[in-house]
Amino acid sequence: MVTLTLDRLSARYGRRQILTDISTPPLHGGQVVALLGPNAAGKSTLFRRILGLLEGEGEVRITGTRSERPIAYMPQDNGATAVLTVYEAVLLARMQGRRLKVADADLGEVDKALAELGIDTLAGRDIGNLSGGQRQLVGAAQALVQSPDILLLDEPTSALDLHRQISLLSILRRLAQERNMLIIAALHDLGHALRFADQALVIESGRLVDCGPCEQVVTPQMLRHTFQVEARIEPCSQGRPQLIVEAAI
Amino acid sequence: MAAAPSRAAAFAPAAADDANLYRRLVLRRQLILAALALALFASLCIDLALGPARFGLDQVIAALFTPGSVEDSLRVILWQIRMPVALMALVVGASLSIAGAQMQTILSNPLASPFTLGISAGASFGAALALAFGVTLVPALVDYAIPLNAFIMAMLTALAIHFLSMRRGVTIETIVLLGIAMVFIFNSLMALIQFFASQQAVSAVVFWTMGSLTKATWPKLGIAFAVLAVVVPLLARHGWALTAMRLGDAKAESLGVKPRALRLEVLIMVSLLAAIAVSFVGTIGFVGLVGPHIARLLLGEDQRFFLPGSALCGALMLSVGSVLSKVIIPGTIIPIGIITSLVGIPFFLFLILNHKKNAW
């Protein structure tokens, strides 16, 4: 099973230090980890640093994988206007670093990724003509089609309607377990984090301030300190913890 | 932890025949490429048939495939005089169009082309130096002074853009602006040359900048073809990465592409293509801009089809241009640069205004 450990990880853009000394216990495959933090806390930077797109001190240790490219990353959507169909855009993600010739197995993986996310009906559409939510699902398919051991998702639900937010997170949760995949998702909706994530990492001003099981990390104290909101966490009728926000401080 | 909600049926794995739809799309694109190649061959035959002495298409085809069976005069005219010019149209058209296609791809800008990045303007300046003042940048090769000067200035322009774009904080928008700045600099320098040069030299400069295939010879064709034959496989090797570049740098990076390194490598390769083409035939505008756009409309931006498609569209545009340059005023060969602009642009406007699909 794949395991990811961050050891005293730092990153800087030019002279500006963005991440400082981020260390985590081993994060195991099969789990969903929510990456939480206010805007500009360094969540996207942490993803880019894990992926090796940014240099810095510290080490990203990955064990238990045979893949040459074990990590797939879904960045925030940028509304690209390439003249490509959805099918081509997803195939493209699968084929990076491979030969030009497309094998039937690759097409099979694309079919599977589109079907998993319920966007197989969009296959022939031009990506430039999709809504923001549809593009986000295509982005998720592009990450999934790479058959990664570790999946990094940067705000995967930010453009989705409520139904699709719940659906996507349910699917990701199921796939993490089925494929023993480690999913780390930057989420702004802490309710979703409580419902779908096993673990949570909280970063603030580029430093890791808490890390552990989601229910122990997402607390009224953390919400007050990190997000500046007064909130309660109470069990719902089914016993699941629910977040009730009262006011911004 | 959470069960999928009831409406999530729409998200459940479904038996899809998307792969078959995709296979059909691929087949359609292969047919379009084949049709373009066929049209190109037809245009080449017509181009060869036209000239001061007109030949029938049957004669041209006989001379092409069984040169021994035709009269000497026909064989000499076709193979020694017309063939280098007609083939140069194909090679230059393909080179300029590929250069434009990849510039548009790596700079994410629909207006990028050898013309708009100043490479053609640099070449014109180099040629004008030789034509007006006899300046030869490589004194050992005086016979090739004009194309060599043009080539050196075109590559210097590309290298200037390359090195300026490596500075910290330079974005792809800045690169396009640098190109436009280059165009203005060279245009001013050209005006300065024309101000000081003799009347005769000014005419020569003006004629050179119009672009003409009649300068083509077998050796020049060989060089231009060799560069094309080396660069195309190198670009094809980056096929998936180049296609990913059109999804934006962040997405391309997330897929393992190194956008900065790829951009610089491709910029150098396509500058070489454009510089060679322009230095041998002069400024031929719009092929590098329009060829890729037509290919994009017909074939999309998957480089496996877009790259050969751009080459074929550019070659076809210039070959048809060569035919038109001979037939518009019988007995006169109008400089092809004028034809490609005059005919290419209205055709291009018709295409983009009548096409419902995303054109960029």
Q: With an 8 Å Cβ cutoff, are A123 and B358 in contact?
A: no
- pLDDT tens-digit readout, B174-187: 888 888 899 999 99
Chain A contact present for B246, CB below 8 A: yes
Task: Look at residue B10 and tell me whether its pLDDT is greater than 60.
Answer: no
Q: How far apart are CA B256 and CA B343, in angstroms?
A: 42
Residue indicated by tokens 């500075």: B167
Range of weakest confidence among A120-129, A167-176, A191-200, B208-217: B208-217
Give CA torsion, residues A97, A101, A107, A109, to 10 deg. -30
pLDDT bin (cut points 50, 70, 90) of residue B251 is very high
pTM of the complete model = 0.89
- Closest to B261 in 3D by CA, of B249, B274, B273, B277: B249
pLDDT at B138: 77
Residue A235: CB atoms within 10 A of its CB come to 9
Chain B contact present for A104, CB below 8 A: yes
pLDDT at B211: 84
- pLDDT tens-digit readout, B260-269: 899 989 988 9
Average predicted confidence (pLDDT) for chain B: 87
How close does chain A come to B178, measured CA to CA in Å? 24
CA closest to A74 among chain B residues: B254
Task: Look at residue B3 and tell me whether its pLDDT is greater than 60.
Answer: no
Partners of residue B257 in chain A, C-beta under 8 Å? 96
Q: How far apart are CA B166 and CA A87, in angstroms?
A: 34
With pLDDT > 90 as the criterion, what percentage of chain B qualifies?
47
Q: With an 8 Å Cβ cutoff, are B300 and A88 in contact?
A: yes
ipTM: 0.90
CA closest to B241 among chain A residues: A96
Higher pLDDT, B351 or B238: B238
How close does chain B come to A37, measured CA to CA in Å? 21
Partners of residue B253 in chain A, C-beta under 8 Å? 48, 53, 75
pLDDT at B11: 43
Checking B11-17 for CB contacts under 8 A at 24+ apart, the result is B11/A116, B11/A117, B11/A118, B11/A167, B11/A168, B11/A171, B12/A115, B12/A118, B13/A112, B13/A115, B13/A116, B14/A115, B14/A118, B14/A120, B15/A115, B16/A111, B16/A114, B16/A115, B16/A120, B16/A123
Residue A1: CB atoms within 10 A of its CB come to 13
- Structural tokens at position B65: 């495939």
pLDDT bin (cut points 50, 70, 90) of residue B163 is confident
pLDDT at B9: 41
pLDDT at B358: 55
pLDDT at B209: 85
Q: Are residues A6 and A60 in contact, defined by beta-carbon separation less than 8 angstroms?
A: yes
Residues 6+ apart with CB under 8 A from B26: none
Residue type at B303 in one-letter notation = Q
How much is the average pLDDT of A55-73? 93
- Closest to A188 in 3D by CA, of A213, A230, A212, A223: A223
pLDDT at B346: 83
Break chain B into its structural domains and give their ranges.
86-353
CB within 8 Å of chain A, chain B residues 5-24: 5, 7-8, 10-16, 18-19, 21-23
How close does chain B come to A77, measured CA to CA in Å? 8
Catalogue the E-assigned strands of B167-233.
none
pLDDT bin (cut points 50, 70, 90) of residue B356 is low
Q: Which domains are seen in chain A, by residue range?
A: 1-70+148-214 (3.40.50.300), 79-145 (no CATH)
- Closest to A67 in 3D by CA, of A199, A168, A201, A180: A180
Give CA torsion, residues B28, B29, B30, B31, to 10 deg. 50
pLDDT at A91: 96
pLDDT bin (cut points 50, 70, 90) of residue B342 is confident
Q: What share of chain B is helix, strand, coil (3-state, %, to 5)?
A: 80, 0, 20
Q: How far apart are CA B5 and CA B13, in angstroms?
A: 15
pLDDT bin (cut points 50, 70, 90) of residue B135 is confident
Chain A to chain B Cβ contacts (< 8 Å) = 150
pLDDT at B227: 95
- Closest to B166 in 3D by CA, of B248, B245, B264, B258: B264
Partners of residue B1 in chain A, C-beta under 8 Å? 173, 195-196, 198
Residue indicated by tokens 């000067």: B149
Higher pLDDT, B103 or B145: B103
Task: Look at residue A80 and tell me whether its pLDDT is greater than 90.
Answer: no
Residue B28: CB atoms within 10 A of its CB come to 13
pLDDT bin (cut points 50, 70, 90) of residue B108 is confident
Chain B contact present for A106, CB below 8 A: no
Partners of residue B21 in chain A, C-beta under 8 Å? 87, 123-124
Q: How far apart are CA B219 and CA B328, in angstroms?
A: 29
- pLDDT tens-digit readout, B195-242: 999 998 899 888 888 888 887 899 999 999 999 999 999 999 999 999
Q: How far apart are CA B77 and CA B66, in angstroms?
A: 15
Average predicted confidence (pLDDT) for chain A: 93
Chain B contact present for A78, CB below 8 A: yes
Among A14, A74, A88, the residue with its CB nearest the CB of B302 is A88
- pLDDT tens-digit readout, A89-142: 999 999 998 889 999 999 999 999 999 999 999 999 999 889 999 999 999 999
Range of weakest confidence among A50-59, A131-140, B336-345: B336-345
What phi and psi, each to the nearest 5 degrees, are found at residue B301?
Answer: -115, 15
Chain A contact present for B106, CB below 8 A: no
- pLDDT tens-digit readout, B17-74: 889 999 999 999 999 999 999 999 999 999 999 988 888 999 999 999 988 888 888 8
pLDDT bin (cut points 50, 70, 90) of residue A228 is very high
- For the domain B86-353, what is the CATH superfamily, name and number? ABC transporter involved in vitamin B12 uptake, BtuC (1.10.3470.10)
